[in-house]
Structure 1
Amino acid sequence: MRLTVRECDGPADRTLLVVHGGPGWDHSYLVEPLRELAGDRRLLFPDLRGCGRSPAAEPLTPDAMVADLIELIGSPAVDVLGFSYGGLIAQRLAIQAPHLVRRLIVASSSVLPVPAGAFDGWEEYERRAAAHPSLWEDPALDGVELVRAEAFRNAPLNVWREQSLPGYRRRLERVMFTATYLRAWREGRLPSARHPDAVERLSGIPLFLLHGRYDMTFPASLVALTPCTDAIVLDEAGHMAHIDQPEAWLAAVSRFLGNDENSRDRVIGQ
């Protein structure tokens, strides 16, 4: 398996592996603002198996994605940032190959399962969801067109600040979407990427949670319930917190990666 990987030069012993979400998206929507770390850190942005420009080789499963990343890392250990669905893949990577993960950032994702009805009673969520109904059942759309259309439909739910929407939509225009996982997901054949024992299995790894307070995919309320080394919940930010608050988001990433004291357990901004 040969993944497509964007690399930004920096010291090999200060590598940050960035795992994108989806599946069905490429890595490009995460390059900014992380690119600003280049030079000080080596950055790796792979397209996961069957995503972006990486081949859609069987098996198309979370474990296969993790196996690809283990091959990519090689040695020595790296820091890992997993975003959204990529946060679940990153957790599996850290659990299956803890010797390869120095520090783990779970961004706009969760370690704990999302409870049913997590957003019930949140008026703004209900208003935005009603104004932008799901397209998954639209008979006129299928394949890549459906994945792309749903990404644009979700923009007002993923970005909290209205002034951030135009820039986010321009970023979506550059994403290479794929429908590799669409049929398996619709038919219930795509295994869950969530590890059932993640809290216990991640206890020995420095873990940083980075979240937007108004995330409409993974509720921010789970952050305070999750044992971790450190956590930040950014105000005025949604699921795409790096779009809503790029400077604060990047500063939080930089602070954690520059912090070698791994004994603290606190939440900032709650």
Structure 2
Amino acid sequence: MTPWTSRSGTGAPLVLCHGGPGIWDYFDDVAGFFDDTATVIRWDQRGCGRSPRDGPYTVARFVADLDDLGDRPRFDVLGHSWGALLALLYALEHPGRVNRIVYVSGVGIDPEHTWKPTYRRNFAARVDPRWYELEDGRERAILQWSTDFVDPATAREHAERMATPWHGLNPECADALNAEVGRYLERGDLPARCRGLTVPTLIVDGRHDLRPRDAVDSLERALPDVRRVSLDAGHVPWVEEPAGFRRTVREFLADSAR
């Protein structure tokens, strides 16, 4: 499978891993934050967006796909939400390939039952009730993604921008990966594996994310070389706090390169 990719800028490679799973790259703004100092590589993951809808939809296959993107021996990787976990799992499998990890709005390494009920309550309190009545599609996605932003006056505008252009969802991919990740986290071995990971890591949270941020505490405790920054934002911090996000990540990538 040859995924859809986009490259911009010059410098050391920085690979961006979008969330989902089952959607597509939405990192237009983020790429612009770094393309004066890095070769920014964006991609639509297997079965998502502009990439072929080819399985298998497994964590191992997605880790292998990410490995295929790096055109140099080592690169930086920034992942958001599901993509943050993918970046972490990739570094655990291939620590010699990763210079630095930027872990944005992930949900940690604890079993999902420790945080998902809280997220579902928070989501139900914020989502437009029409979400429950709609079939899968663009409008339903916009209503769901609107909950990821703090200010209701601008939330829909931000969500519509993420949904434009619309590349369609892949529920088969989402269901398969979410189920596997749930089983993976139940095994409980990730904290021990993370304690052995010496790759410098930056955790970026939006303090108003509907997903409880204390779910990430055990990951922060486990990583030997970690920084953590909370911004005044929801689940997509570079949209609501672009200056703070850009400064935080650029400083981390520059400092940890010394």
TMscore range, shorter length: 0.7 to 0.9
1:121/1:84 CA distance change after superposition, 3 Å: closer
What count of residue pairs does the alignment treat as equivalent? 247
Alignment of 1:77-88 (within 5 A): 77-88=74-85
Instruction: State the distance in 2 between where 1:148 and 1:120 align.
Output: 22
Query: Contact 1:19/1:46 (CA < 8 Å) preserved in 2?
Result: yes
Matched, 1:204 2:202: no
1:221/1:116 CA distance change after superposition, 3 Å: closer
Q: Which consecutive residues of structure 2, in runs of 5 or more, have no partner in the other structure?
A: none
Q: Which runs of 4+ in 1 moved over 6 A?
A: none
TM-score by length of 2: 0.83
Counterpart of 2:7 in structure 1: which amino acid?
E
Query: In the alignment, which of 130, 137, 152 is matched to residue 162 of structure 1?
Result: 152
Q: Once the two structures are superposed, what CA deviation does each residue of 1:230-266 show, in whole Å capped at 9, x if it has no partner? A: 000112x11111111111111111111111289xxxx
SS in 2 for 1:192: helix
1:106/1:175 CA distance change after superposition, 3 Å: farther
SS in 2 for 1:90: helix
Query: Contact 1:159/1:240 (CA < 8 Å) preserved in 2?
Result: yes
Instruction: State the distance in 2 between where 1:121 and 1:18 align.
Output: 27
1:23/1:97 CA distance change after superposition, 3 Å: same
Query: Contact 2:74/2:99 (CA < 8 Å) preserved in 1?
Result: yes
Instruction: State the distance in 2 between where 1:162 and 1:95 align.
Output: 38
Instruction: State the distance in 2 between where 1:192 and 1:120 align.
Output: 17
Instruction: State the distance in 1 between where 2:176 and 2:100 align.
Output: 35
Q: What displacement does 1:127 show? A: 2.8
1 or 2, which has the higher helix percentage? 2
Partner residue of 2:9? Answer: 9
Partner residue of 1:19? Answer: 17
Counterpart of 2:21 in structure 1: which amino acid?
P
Q: What displacement does 1:66 show? A: 1.1
SS in 1 for 2:181: coil
Percent identity between the aligned chains? Answer: 23
Matched, 1:64 2:54: no
Matched, 1:107 2:100: no
Alignment of 1:156-195 (within 5 A): 156-180=146-170, 182-183=171-172, 190-192=179-181
Query: Contact 1:223/1:231 (CA < 8 Å) preserved in 2?
Result: no
Counterpart of 2:192 in structure 1: which amino acid?
E
Instruction: State the distance in 2 between where 1:187 and 1:261 align.
Output: 36
TM-score by length of 1: 0.80
Query: Contact 1:50/1:178 (CA < 8 Å) preserved in 2?
Result: no
Query: In the alignment, which of 28, 31, 50 is matched to residue 31 of structure 1?
Result: 28
Q: Which consecutive residues of structure 1, in runs of 5 or more, have no partner in the other structure?
A: 263-270
Query: Contact 1:26/1:176 (CA < 8 Å) preserved in 2?
Result: no
Q: Once the two structures are superposed, what CA deviation does each residue of 1:81-135 show, in whole Å capped at 9, x if it has no partner? A: 010111111111111111111111110113322414652897x755314x44644
